[in-house]
Amino acid sequence: MGSYQPIIGLEIHVELKTSSKMFCQCFADYFGKEPNTQVCPVCLGMPGALPVPNKKAIEWTILIGKALNCKINRFSKFDRKHYFYPDLPKGYQISQYDEPIAQNGKFEIRDSKFEIKKTIRIRRIHLEEDTGKLIHSKNGTLIDFNRAGVPLIEIVTEPDFDNSDDVKRFLEELQVLIRYLGISDADMEKGTMRMEPNISVREIRSTKHEIRNKSDKKIQNTKLYSQNNDMPNYKVEVKNINSFRFVKQAIDYEIKRQIEILKSGKLPSQETRGFDEKKGITYPQRTKEEASDYRYFPEPDIPPLVFAQDYINSIKLPELPSQKLNRYVSDFGIRFEDAFILTRDRKMSEYFEAIISKIKNQIAKLHIKNQNYKQIVANFIINKKISTQLSIDEFINKLIDNLKPKEVDRKLLIEVIDKVLKNNQKAVEDYKKGKTNAIMFLVGQVMKEMRGKAEAKMVREEIEKIINQ
């Protein structure tokens, strides 16, 4: 018996949230707009219309390329990718073929302690245009071109994953990163982030026949074979997945399905499968007998992109989530788990930092003695004790308010204590007999009556005073 090793690679499409489309002046934000209202001759592919590339989209592709540690190519170009589909108005998509803007990067997946668990290589990142949308109805199929021409980046990883948990974690981290860069909402449900895992399974056999050794030489032991980096000669691409959870489900299902086929001595077929989220299974969509021929050639309407090194250098990365996390822990002294939460969302971290920088000079007002005020602010944000919707000043005022030692209405307190003691004679007696715990019950009762407008420590002292009189 052999063992099985899943091999998974990802293709991730992310729509950029530039204000205009990739090759024309139309608004890129098509969400919820009436069909075919965000269109012009260019994105409709009218006769004679020409594409003019969006500089911002190119800049953002370089930015994500840098964030994923890619090499940014000084020379890049657009190519035409031909295929026929009704949502593709020109009969080709303007994409990038052999000279993408960014390539050869890497991205680290971390475990729950944020230790680097695995490095995933990024093969390439290229820029292209989105297609229109088909709307199927009883009376036929309608086409909405509002989405046609929206800038889209494609991130392709090497097949470096061997389990669905790593894939999920990678995608979550990638999503955080993309949102940090502010280049996309990367929303799976809205379709601004889409992904297609490519899954195959390698059978690791100890002896005898094996599936994909090209030569007839039989490989005699597992060790030797597992050093062999050959990929299985099929892969299954799964489409139409719109949540991270479903990606995991689809991959797990595929691995199981493919292993069963391999166990029966067959080879799973190379195909594209869809994902049925209700049943949690994949189903065949189309079989790829051969690689499609897209007849790529350089887009003659757009001159090649030649980036000056100064230009590439001028595109600066913001502090990335992992860097921020480290800083929060080491410089701010914030607990790792809290720092992790705060750095998941750039806006939240910026809000947090704005507060601590403003509050620095007002620490005395916080009455916190030797505690780390940064940790306290973090607690208030994370526990949602104070809304982060407030302005910075409002938040700080509320915080000061919250931390202020409570002013107690002494007269009321004494009245309440008297009342509580009277009604709970047994507890008073118990306490007097030495059951010190009984006092906690009395404190609780008083606190309840005071509706939080007292401090437990003070109440206890007062009760003790009265009983001991």
Partner 1 sequence: MLLGKSLVSIFKLLNDKKISSKEVIDYFLKRIEKYNQKLNAYLTVNKSYKFKKDDKLRVPIAIKDNFCTKNIKTTASSKVLENFIPPYESTVTKRLLDASFFILGKTNLDAWAHGSSTETSDFGPTKNPWDLSRSPGGSSGGSAAVVSSYLAPAAIGSETAGSIRQPSAWSGIIGLKPTYGRVSRYGLIAMASSLDCPGPLTLTTEDAAFILKIIAGKDKFDATTVEFEVPDYFSKIKEKKKFIIGITEEYLEGVDDEIKEAFYQLIKILEKMGHQIKKIKLLSPKYAISVYTVIQRAEVSSNLARYDGLRYGNDRTFFGSEAKRRIMLGAYVLSYGYYDAYYKKAQKVRTLIIEDFKKVFKEVDLILAPTTPIPALKLGEFEKYPFFGEIMDILAEPAAISGICAISFPFGLTKKNNLPIGLQLMGRWFEEENILNLTYQIEKETDFLGVIKNGIKNYPD
Hey, which residues does 124 pair with through a beta bridge? 103, 156
Q: Closest approach of Cβ 335 to partner 1, in Å? A: 52
82 binds partner 1 (CB under 8 A): yes
Q: Closest approach of Cβ 293 to partner 1, in Å? A: 5
Q: Which of 11, 27, 49, 213 binds partner 1 (CB under 8 A)?
A: 49
Q: Closest approach of Cβ 73 to partner 1, in Å? A: 19
Q: Closest approach of Cβ 90 to partner 1, in Å? A: 5
Closer to partner 1 at the Cβ: 304 or 333?
Answer: 304
Tell me the Ramachandran region of residue 230: left when phi exceeds 0, alpha when psi lies from -120 to 50, beta otherwise: beta
Q: Closest approach of Cβ 42 to partner 1, in Å? A: 8
Contact 327, 114 (CB under 8 A): no
Q: Rounded distance, CA 167 to CA 71, Å?
A: 23
295 binds partner 1 (CB under 8 A): yes
Q: Closest approach of Cβ 35 to partner 1, in Å? A: 15
Measure Cα distances from 460 to 236, 288, 357 in Å: 69, 77, 37
46 binds partner 1 (CB under 8 A): yes
Closer to partner 1 at the Cβ: 32 or 300?
Answer: 300
Q: Which strand (E) or helix (H) includes residue 329?
A: helix 321-330
Look at residue 362 and give its three-state secondary structure.
Answer: helix
Q: Which of 293, 310, 331, 407 binds partner 1 (CB under 8 A)?
A: 293
Hey, which residues does 283 pair with through a beta bridge? 274
Q: Closest approach of Cβ 394 to partner 1, in Å? A: 46
Q: Closest approach of Cβ 251 to partner 1, in Å? A: 30
41 binds partner 1 (CB under 8 A): yes
- Burial of 30 (C-beta count, 10 Å sphere; 0-12/13-18/19+): buried
Structure tokens at 364: 């005395």
| Side-chain-side CA neighbours of residue 436 (13 Å) | 1
Closer to partner 1 at the Cβ: 82 or 118?
Answer: 82
Mention every residue, 6+ apart, whose C-beta is less than 8 A from residue 394. none
134 binds partner 1 (CB under 8 A): no
140 binds partner 1 (CB under 8 A): no
Q: Which of 50, 306, 317, 440 binds partner 1 (CB under 8 A)?
A: 50
Closer to partner 1 at the Cβ: 38 or 349?
Answer: 38
Q: Which of 91, 182, 284, 333 binds partner 1 (CB under 8 A)?
A: 91
Q: Which of 6, 89, 232, 268 binds partner 1 (CB under 8 A)?
A: 89
Q: Rounded distance, CA 458 to CA 422, Å?
A: 19
Size of the site for partner 1 (CB under 8 A): 30
Mention every residue, 6+ apart, whose C-beta is less than 8 A from residue 372. 332, 333, 334
Among the candidate windows 65-73, 90-98, 228-236, 353-361, which touches partner 1 by CB under 8 A? 90-98
First to last CA, the chain: 84
Where b means 16+ CB within 10 Å and e means fewer, 430-456 reads bbeeeeeebbebbbebbbebbeeebee
Closer to partner 1 at the Cβ: 22 or 67?
Answer: 22
Contact 455, 406 (CB under 8 A): yes
80 binds partner 1 (CB under 8 A): yes
Q: Which of 86, 182, 280, 284 binds partner 1 (CB under 8 A)?
A: 86
Q: Which of 224, 291, 308, 364 binds partner 1 (CB under 8 A)?
A: 291
Look at residue 115 and give its three-state secondary structure.
Answer: coil
Contact 162, 125 (CB under 8 A): no
84 binds partner 1 (CB under 8 A): yes
Measure Cα distances from 380 to 343, 353, 388 in Å: 15, 13, 9
Site string for partner 1, 297-316 (x = CB under 8 A): x--xxxx-------------
Strands (DSSP E) contained in 130-192 are 133-137, 140-144, 151-157
Closest to 164 measured CA to CA, from 249, 58, 285: 249
52 binds partner 1 (CB under 8 A): yes
Among the candidate windows 44-52, 170-178, 412-420, 423-431, which touches partner 1 by CB under 8 A? 44-52
90 binds partner 1 (CB under 8 A): yes
| 8-state DSSP, 342 | H
Q: Which residues bind partner 1 (CB under 8 A)?
A: 40-42, 45-53, 80, 82, 84, 86, 89-92, 143, 291, 293, 295-297, 300-303
